[in-house]
Structures are given as structure tokens and as C-alpha cells.
């Protein structure tokens, strides 16, 4: 809450301690710096996107993954994480510290959806890369950063139907 309201630059250990109704020393015993506190908060709050059930439906499963991410991004922790992104340019230390969290809890579930589709012959095996798996989530995040949350249903559908499926299906089999 404090991060969402104050932003990274305005966040202080005093403010966090006051909101948590604890002493600043208690915070510093666990998190020696503001940066370490933010990293721990991100680790706790990062989206927990699950692999959808295998329905034999690439489109439906991709929609499921993106809907889960959109819901997480619209949550309180998602809003706070979005605010951190603006700070990345100003703070290289913050960028280095949170890069593992941005690089991406959604890739593994998406890769599993793509793997199952490749086994069924819907897409070529060449689509099974982290880069291809991140395209939909990157587009969704970009939309949320520029336009805010919640991400409209039609945007999610357009990403899947107009970009992901044509791209994946059009890849050359290698």
C-alpha cells in the first residue's frame, strides 16, 4: 500500500513502519535497505499464473493465461509493481534487483500451453521459446502501462486472435 501510494522514490522505512504499526528497527532487522524490502515484497506479490487445464484448445488456454495476468495486474500488488516500472530508468540498482521478477512468472505456464499445442501439431516446435512465450504478456503489460487497468476483454482477445495465433501458426517448421 505504501509503495503504491508513495512510489519507490517517496517510500521510506519510516512510512512503512508507521503503516505496519511497528518500529523502524524491526524492519531493518529483516530488510537492511529499502531496496531489499521492495525485492521481498515483489517476491511475495508477483503474479502466480497457473498452467490452464489441457483442453486441447490453444486459443482458450492462451486467453486463460492472459486473463489471469490481467487480473493480477489490476490487483493492489499489480498496481504497486506497475508504479515501480517508472522508477527503473532512474534507479539502475532497482532495475537490477527487480529484473528477475519482471522476467517472468508467466513464461513457464505459456510455454506449457505452447508445448501442448506443438504436440498436437497446432503450431511448430520452433514456437517453443521464451521470446515467443513472452509476446502476449509483454503486449498486455504494455497496454496496462499506457492505458491503465483493467485491461478490456477485447484487448486480450485481440492479442490472442490477431497476433499470437497468426504468429505461432505462421512460423516455419524447423
Residues 124-165 have pLDDT tens digits of: 999 999 999 999 999 999 999 899 899 999 999 999 999 999
Residue 174 pLDDT greater than 60, yes or no: no
Residue 69 pLDDT greater than 80, yes or no: yes
CA torsion, points 122, 126, 127, 129, in degrees to nearest 10? Answer: 150
pLDDT bin (cut points 50, 70, 90) of residue 80 is confident
Question: In Å, how far from its chain's centre is CA 166?
Answer: 23
- The per-residue pLDDT of the chain, averaged, comes to 89
- Residue linked to cell 521459446: 129
Least confident of 14-18, 28-32, 48-52, 73-77: 73-77
Q: Which one-letter DSSP state was computed for residue 129? A: S
Query: Which pLDDT score, from 0 to 100, does residue 102 have?
Result: 67
Domain chopping of the chain, boundaries:
47-170
**Which of 3-7, 30-34, 75-79 shows the highest mean pLDDT?**
30-34
DSSP string, 73-84: HTSHHHHHHHHH
Q: Does the 47-170 domain belong in CATH 3.40.228.10? A: no
From the list 117, 110, 116, 103, the residue with the least C-alpha distance to 132 is 110
Residue 88 pLDDT greater than 90, yes or no: no
DSSP string, 111-163: HHHHHHHHHTTSS-GGG-SHHHHHHHHHHHHHHHHHH-SSPPHHHHHHIIIII
Percent of the chain with pLDDT over 70: 96
Higher pLDDT pick, 26 / 101: 26
Quick check: 81 and 45 in contact, CB under 8 A?
Answer: yes
Amino acid at each position: 500500500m505504501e509503495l503504491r501510494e508513495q512510489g519507490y522514490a517517496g517510500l521510506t522505512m519510516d512510512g512503512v513502519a508507521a503503516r505496519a504499526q511497528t518500529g523502524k528497527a524491526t524492519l531493518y532487522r529483516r530488510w537492511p535497505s529499502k531496496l531489499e524490502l521492495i525485492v521481498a515484497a515483489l517476491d511475495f506479490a508477483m503474479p502466480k499464473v497457473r498452467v490452464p487445464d489441457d483442453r486441447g484448445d490453444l486459443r482458450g488456454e492462451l486467453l486463460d493465461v492472459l486473463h489471469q495476468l490481467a487480473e493480477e495486474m489490476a490487483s493492489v500488488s499489480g498496481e504497486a509493481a506497475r508504479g515501480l516500472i517508472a522508477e527503473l530508468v532512474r534507479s539502475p540498482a532497482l532495475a537490477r534487483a527487480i529484473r528477475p521478477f519482471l522476467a517472468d512468472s508467466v513464461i513457464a505456464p505459456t510455454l506449457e500451453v505452447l508445448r501442448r499445442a506443438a504436440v498436437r501439431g497446432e503450431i511448430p516446435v520452433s514456437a517453443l521459446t521464451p521470446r515467443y512465450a513472452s509476446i502476449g504478456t509483454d503486449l498486455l503489460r504494455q497496454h496496462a502501462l499506457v492505458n491503465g487497468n483493467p485491461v478490456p476483454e477485447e484487448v486480450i482477445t485481440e492479442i490472442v486472435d490477431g497476433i499470437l495465433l497468426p504468429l505461432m501458426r505462421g512460423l516455419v517448421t524447423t
